Amino acid sequence: MAEADPKSLIPFKVTEPDRIPTPRYYDEAFYKLECDKLWPHVWQMACRVEQLPEVGDWIEYSHLGKSVIVTRTKDGIRAFHNACRHRGVQLVSGHGNCKTQGFICPFHGWRWDGEGKNSFVYGRHMFDERQLDAGDLALIPCRAEEALGCVFINFDDDAPSFADTIGPVLGRLEKKGQSGQRAEWWFSTEIPANWKIAMEAFMEGYHVMRTHPQLQQAAPMIYNMMYGMDTGGIGLPINPNLSVRENVYAQFKHMELLSEGMSGMLHTKEVEIARHLLEVELPEDPQQGVMMWYGIVQHQITEKLRARGENVPDLNAVAVSDPVNAVEFIFPNYFLLPFMTSTSAYRIRPTGPETCQFEIWSLTHFAPGDEPEPIMEPTVLPYNSEEFPPIPRQDYANIPIQQKGLHAKGFDFMRLSKDIEGMISNYNRIIDGHLEGKPADKLAAATHTLGGNFDGKIFEYDF
């Protein structure tokens, strides 16, 4: 088994970028270090903005023993640490509205308004004046920033801003219309695996051939082009031996499979628009024809959804001006799968060294007045539930058995491809930088490189 490097400040540090020590995924001391040195200093997706539509609306965000109240005030969304200033009892759990009564401590009845100002102390005369200073009694604010239709919080008052941490990919995703989307559904499950194992399952598409064979079989040339499999070699994302029409039908079948049960990754309404374009006139050359077909599909999706009142981006324009990858990661534990005008969003949080909470949202645009009621709580399912869409269900089948395999005798390292599994290495080394307390500006600069790094290469960092 790999041993901790005695020269390092942390156990099982990544010293060879293409080899990741396996104890990082189950060692108790390493997990505790993450809890103490990583999570208190990173931006965490706390809730969706539409969950707080009215002044006074609040929702609790809880993670690894820390709890925050995220609330809409008259001046915008703010967050406060969830603890009574008297004896520390948590003020709230779940979600609600504080406009009428404020936040009331269930222990002794002390009260705070929605702005965090103390409004009532039971038996004030029994306390020294220094105990009742208004500034000292106010709820302690927690940093909160809005982006991508979400509220992100950070327990570290000195950390760089969310935008400065995530980097240019944030702007590209916003141009894709992320802040205008709302949740259609929200699923949650607990998986018997380390949170990083669950995250890393989505950092490359190399697994598609075996894990998602229906995608490979529908459009094999797409994956052969990217990974050069022995079954096809590196080539164009079309089959030159098929007619343009046959290629278009293969691409459409691939779209249907991506959409099956997922909604956000490729929405049913988008698939239906594409379905009506299967017979449009196209050049006979398969490559030119497929490219033209995708352009037509994206144009028609834009136009037809805008005609319905949805504020969607011009897909062809943003594909040129602000391109994003099939998967984009928001360090450390939130990521998006933006395809057309809709998105699947995943959040993965550790619940122990070898367990994690895994959540999926389906996000899309709605015309004004057609928006669904905000979803305040997820539908909780077993990780092997048949109610999950096929694609995550296939991933969930692999993640737990990978966790078990990491304990196998002699399996000391995960061996990464330097060309297409680089993001796994980059992520782990940025985590190491946090655990070692490296300068925040250097960590932010490294985090910027994660944008567009899906299926990417290993980078060098100067920390």
Q: Tell me, yes or no, whether 284 lies in a domain.
A: no
Domain with residue 142: its CATH number is: 2.102.10.10
Residue 284 CB-density burial (10 A; 0-12 exposed, 13-18 middle, 19+ buried): exposed
Q: Tell me, yes or no, whether 278 lies in a domain.
A: no
Q: How many domains does the chain have?
A: 2
Q: Which residue range forms the structural domain that includes residue 384?
A: 1-42+165-239+311-463
Q: Tell me, yes or no, whether 83 lies in a domain.
A: yes
Q: Of 89, 119, 154, which closes a domain?
A: 154
Question: Within this chain, do residues 351 and 447 fall inside the same structural domain, yes or no?
Answer: yes
Question: Within this chain, do residues 224 and 353 fall inside the same structural domain, yes or no?
Answer: yes
Question: Within this chain, do residues 74 and 177 fall inside the same structural domain, yes or no?
Answer: no
Question: Within this chain, do residues 178 and 97 fall inside the same structural domain, yes or no?
Answer: no
Question: Within this chain, do residues 101 and 232 fall inside the same structural domain, yes or no?
Answer: no
Q: Of 154, 189, 220, which closes a domain?
A: 154
Amino acid at 222: I
Question: Within this chain, do residues 122 and 70 fall inside the same structural domain, yes or no?
Answer: yes
Which residues touch 427 (CB under 8 Å, ≥6 apart)?
196, 199, 200, 203, 329, 331, 332, 450
Question: Within this chain, do residues 408 and 337 fall inside the same structural domain, yes or no?
Answer: yes
Domain with residue 228: its CATH number is: 3.90.380.10
| Residue 306 CB neighbours (<10 A) | 16
Question: Within this chain, do residues 191 and 338 fall inside the same structural domain, yes or no?
Answer: yes
C-alpha distances in Å from residue 138, one per residue of 83, 116, 121, 129: 11, 6, 12, 15
- Provide the residue-wise pLDDT of the chain in tens; the chain has 463 residues: 445 454 567 999 999 999 999 999 999 999 999 999 999 999 999 999 999 999 999 999 999 999 999 999 999 999 999 999 999 999 999 999 999 999 999 999 999 999 999 999 999 999 999 999 999 999 999 999 999 999 999 999 999 999 999 999 999 999 999 999 999 999 999 999 999 999 999 999 999 888 998 988 887 777 777 776 444 433 345 666 789 999 999 999 999 999 999 988 999 999 999 999 999 999 999 889 999 999 999 999 999 999 999 999 999 999 999 999 999 999 999 999 999 999 999 999 999 999 999 999 999 999 999 999 999 999 999 999 999 999 999 999 999 999 999 999 999 999 999 999 999 999 999 999 999 999 999 999 999 999 999 999 999 999 9
Question: Do you find a cis peptide bond into 332, omega within 30 degrees of 0?
Answer: yes
- pTM for the whole thing? 0.94
Helices (H), 308-365: 315-321
Q: Of 131, 154, 177, which closes a domain?
A: 154
Q: Tell me, yes or no, whether 195 lies in a domain.
A: yes
Q: Tell me, yes or no, whether 192 lies in a domain.
A: yes
